[in-house]
Amino acid sequence: MKIHPTLVVVLVGGASLCPIAVAEESTTCADSYEKAQEEKTAGHLKAALVQLKSCIDPTCPKFIRDDCVRWMDQTESALPTVVFAVRRDGKDVTDVEVACDGEPLLSSLDGKAVPVDPGSHDFSFKVPGVAPMERQTLIREGERNRIIDVEFVIAHESVASPTSTASADAGRPGERGKVSRYLPYGLAGLGALGVAGFALFGLEGNSQKGDLERTCSPYCQSSQVDSVKTKYLLADTFLAVGLVSAGVATYLFLTRHSEGAGHEHATSIGFAPRTSGGGGVVQVFTRF
């Protein structure tokens, strides 16, 4: 049989290329095999997984594939994962750029776990319209679904509460005018109440004093005498308060016209009763 020269060349060339291809594949498998061990020892588990996926290729020698499969299981078990939870003013946000140690990690959040190498990492978070925030976190080997919470708090302009608004309204000239308008009537009523109290306790004190003079004087018990003194003290107190209130009310009635001209008056009343039962001291302070 006659063999064509061209066919011989092709067969010889193909036979010579097969060992070259096998040698290249073996070199790639060996390189991934070695680099996977180096990355795993250095704690770069993510990079180690990339190399391990290359050396489990069916074209790699069996002993390399067996070792790489075993190491891959170990690496996947040791590789930690984190879940980022970012909120803005208490509300979850997904438009967040996350970087790990200065390298981009995520362009947005979807709530899924993300693998990271074990160790201390500097995570940075960027939300549109807000200053970036950083968080340093120690990630432990084998830690799964570690939640990293980040809260962006935006300062808002304070809104006046109803209480503060009411307080502000109370300090306005119109509100002060209402208070000044009804104050004289209140003081006049207090003056009438003081006079009535004076009359009531004065009559009771006189009545009780008369009874003691007819029954036990001058050998009455001190408790009986003290009761009479208390009645007189209360009568004096009511009289003092009534007279001062009536006097201030009269003064305010007579000077009300000056308030319309922009003058303000501040009046305070004080009364200090005497312990001896002989009345007290009334103090009136007025500012013009």
Q: Which two tokens stand for residue 231?
A: 């009645």
DSSP letter (8 states) at residue 140:
P
DSSP letter (8 states) at residue 261:
T
Which spans in the chain are helix H? 5-42, 45-55, 62-78, 162-170, 173-215, 222-260
**Residue linked to tokens 């959040």:** 109
Q: Is the pLDDT of residue 190 over 70?
A: yes
What pLDDT score was predicted for residue 201?
Answer: 82
What pLDDT score was predicted for residue 11?
Answer: 42
Q: In the chain, pLDDT over 90 holds for what percent of residues?
A: 42
Q: Which two tokens stand for residue 247?
A: 């006097």
| pLDDT, tens only, 125-156 | 999 988 999 999 999 999 999 999 999 987 66
What pLDDT score was predicted for residue 239?
Answer: 85
For each of the domains in the chain, give its residue range(s) and CATH number, in order of start.
Answer: 5-78 (no CATH), 81-152 (2.60.40.1120), 173-287 (no CATH)
Q: Give the range among 26-35, 100-109, 127-136, 218-227 with minimum mean pLDDT.
A: 218-227
Which of 96-110, 181-195, 245-259 holds the top average pLDDT?
96-110
Tally of residues, the chain: 288
Question: What is the separation of C-alpha 145 from the centre of its chain, rounded to a whole number of angstroms?
Answer: 27
Q: What is the mean pLDDT of residues 47-58?
A: 93
Which residue would you say has higher pLDDT here, 242 or 63? Answer: 63
Residue from 145, 117, 120 nearest 135 by CA: 120
Is the backbone of residue 129 left (phi > 0), alpha (psi -120 to 50) or beta? left
Q: Is the pLDDT of residue 175 over 90?
A: no
Signed CA dihedral, 169, 174, 177, 183: sign only: negative
- CA 234, CA 230: separation in Å to the nearest integer? 6
What pLDDT score was predicted for residue 179?
Answer: 61
In this prediction, residue 193 has a pLDDT band, given cuts at 50, 70 and 90, of confident
In this prediction, residue 266 has a pLDDT band, given cuts at 50, 70 and 90, of low
- CA 108, CA 106: separation in Å to the nearest integer? 6
